Amino acid sequence: MAINGELDELAQQAGVIKAEAQGEGWLQRNWRPLVMLVFTALVVCRWMGWASPDISEALELKLLGIVQLGIGGYIASRGVEKVVSNLRR
């Protein structure tokens, strides 16, 4: 039963993301990827030496953690989306 509850919760989360993706406004559909691109650009700029020297290593590691979490979440949500669609068939 716990697995079914978790699948239901994941399906609801996927539904929210799907609703955003099918929204009317361009920004509504694309805000998540844009945020991830900005964080990724900040990390890359730091690695290339293009960032302010005042940015601490702790902040850089936090940004990298956000990027890793976002990419992991995207990969997981795509996998869950496929599993849920196969279960509903």
3 pLDDT above the threshold of 70 = no
Within 13 A of 34's CA, how many CA atoms are on the CB side?
7
72 pLDDT above the threshold of 70 = yes
Q: In the 3-class helix/strand/coil scheme, how is 20-79 assigned residue by residue? A: HHCCCCHHHHHHHHHHHHHHHHHHHHHHHCCCCCCCCHHHHHHHHHHHHHHHHHHHHHHH
Give the domain extent around 29.
Answer: 2-87
Number of domains in the chain: 1
DSSP secondary structure letter of residue 51: S
pTM here is 0.52
pLDDT band at residue 89 under the 50/70/90 scheme: low
Amino acid at 61: L
